[in-house]
């Protein structure tokens, strides 16, 4: 499917009544399960992908090419539009971000997220102008062939400045970001302020505000247009695996092997769009 068609398909899910829930897959089978459950799009999770490789999260841990091939696999198997959780765009300059966006289009991604992070624990968030320039470059490279999400990580990097967060997200929208995103605003009031400030640009939320987990309906009522899960589905699957390994270590073979039948796994793989 050409990039422009993928862009239109994914943007239509954002702009319809109720928006979309965008779960994050971490391998072929998890992506197939999401498609089988009826989800209309999927996303990568940089944290989950890194964990599957036994590495910490971060663009210096998982390369751009590894992430691109991973995203292409999820899309190929499912036929779903895939949004890529691509850290800071895998580049130190706006020009490098543009190269990543072009590569994402070539690999068949429908969306890509660009963060304002630096990877430097001393100075984790980029300066305002630098952050905006990078989103601007991503939008110019995208040419409406891939959905661009402009993201600020203020809240999860210990910078609880709502005014600066809104300033950044508003600027991202003004330079053409299709979606904006600030993971874990402190509460529902802060989330509402963000939604109002950037309207009509769609807002993504990672699960919920920081203070409590809301329902999908509650987030929709707050004006959220996209709900993503980040690494949390993967973490849930690993929790089930940990329970099974503990049961095995205790000698309980029945509990350790009580998971999905391999016939079901085979059924899902047989239905993949190879």
Kindly give the residue spans of alpha helices, DSSP state H, lying in the chain: 3-15, 28-36, 46-52, 64-78, 94-106, 128-142, 162-174, 188-198, 216-221, 232-249, 253-256, 262-270
Distance CA 120, CA 253 (A): 45
- Residue 137 · residue 97 · CB < 8 Å: yes
Give pLDDT, residue 58: 83
Residue 87 and residue 114 in contact, taking contact as beta carbons nearer than 8 Å: no
- Superfamily classification of domain 3-232: Phosphoenolpyruvate-binding domains (3.20.20.60)
| Beta carbons of 59 and 20 less than 8 angstroms apart | no
| Model pLDDT, residue 88 | 95
Q: Which pLDDT value is given to residue 75?
A: 98
pTM here is: 0.96
Q: Domain spans of the chain?
A: 3-232
Q: pLDDT tens, position by position, for the chain (274 residues)?
A: 778 999 999 999 999 999 999 999 999 999 999 999 999 999 999 999 999 999 999 888 999 999 999 999 999 999 999 999 999 999 899 999 999 999 999 999 999 999 999 988 899 999 999 999 999 999 999 999 999 999 999 999 999 999 999 999 999 999 999 999 999 999 999 999 999 999 999 999 999 999 999 999 999 999 999 999 999 999 999 999 999 999 999 999 999 999 999 999 999 999 998 6
DSSP element (H, E) containing 149: strand 147-151
What is residue 3's predicted lDDT score, i.e. its pLDDT? 81
Q: What is the pLDDT of residue 60?
A: 85
């Amino acid at each position: 499917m050409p990039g422009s068609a993928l862009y239109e398909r994914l943007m239509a899910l954002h702009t319809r009544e109720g928006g979309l829930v965008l779960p994050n897959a971490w391998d072929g089978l998890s992506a197939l399960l999401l498609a089988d459950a009826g989800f209309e799009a999927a996303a990568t999770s940089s944290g989950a992908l890194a964990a599957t490789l036994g590495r910490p999260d971060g663009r210096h841990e998982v390369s751009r090419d590894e992430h691109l091939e991973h995203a292409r696999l999820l899309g190929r198997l499912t036929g779903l539009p895939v949004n890529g959780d691509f850290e800071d765009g895998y580049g130190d300059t706006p020009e490098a971000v543009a190269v990543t966006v072009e590569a994402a289009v070539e690999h068949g991604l429908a969306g890509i997220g660009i963060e304002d992070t630096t990877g430097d624990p001393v100075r984790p968030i980029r300066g305002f102008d630098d952050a905006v320039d990078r989103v601007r470059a991503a939008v110019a490279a995208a040419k409406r062939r891939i959905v661009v999400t402009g993201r600020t990580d203020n809240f999860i990097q210990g910078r609880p400045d709502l005014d600066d967060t809104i300033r950044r997200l508003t600027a991202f929208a003004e330079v053409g970001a299709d979606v904006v995103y600030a993971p874990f605003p402190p509460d529902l009031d802060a989330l509402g302020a963000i939604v109002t400030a950037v309207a009509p640009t769609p807002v993504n939320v990672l699960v919920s505000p920081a203070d409590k987990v809301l329902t999908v309906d509650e987030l929709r009522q707050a004006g959220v247009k996209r709900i993503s899960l980040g690494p949390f589905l993967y973490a849930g699957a690993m929790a089930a695996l940990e329970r099974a390994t503990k049961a095995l270590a205790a000698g309980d073979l029945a509990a350790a092997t009580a998971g999905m039948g391999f016939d079901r796994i085979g059924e899902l793989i047989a239905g993949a769009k190879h």
